[in-house]
Amino acid sequence: MGKLTTHILDLTSGKPAANVKIELKRLGESIMKEVYTNNDGRVDVPLLAGEELMSGEYVMEFHAGDYFASKNMNAADQPFLTIVTVRFQLADPDAHYHIPLLLSPFGYQVYRGS
């Protein structure tokens, strides 16, 4: 059974990023899911699983600006990034797709994990 999962690591602290809003959309459609990361920087259940996971293009929006704003940063250190948008394709509905996000207020890295 295929599934889509994610997690976020805050590179400024070296810890998981908790309480980050994530919106998932199938390309051209409205929001499918709106979730928040837990204390481990993950969501409690897969974003998509089983019959929900269909081939196609998707967009995941990580609300990084709100997360960093909640950290009471100095005005000079306000985050450059507000929403990190990742557009990706799911080709195999039976595969496990994991999308980790390594995040700082000024940059990020995303990749297909395992």
Domain ranges of the chain: 3-110
Judged by DSSP in three states, 96 sits in strand
pTM of the model: 0.92
Helix (H, G, I), strand (E, B) or coil at 51: helix
Of the candidate CATH numbers 1.10.10.10, 3.30.420.40, 3.20.20.150, 2.60.40.180, the domain formed by 3-110 belongs to 2.60.40.180
Q: What is the pLDDT of residues 66-113, one digit of tens each?
A: 999 888 766 666 778 999 999 999 999 999 999 999 999 889 999 999
Query: Can you tell me the distance from the alpha carbon of 94 to that of 106, in angstroms, rounded to the nearest whole number?
Result: 35
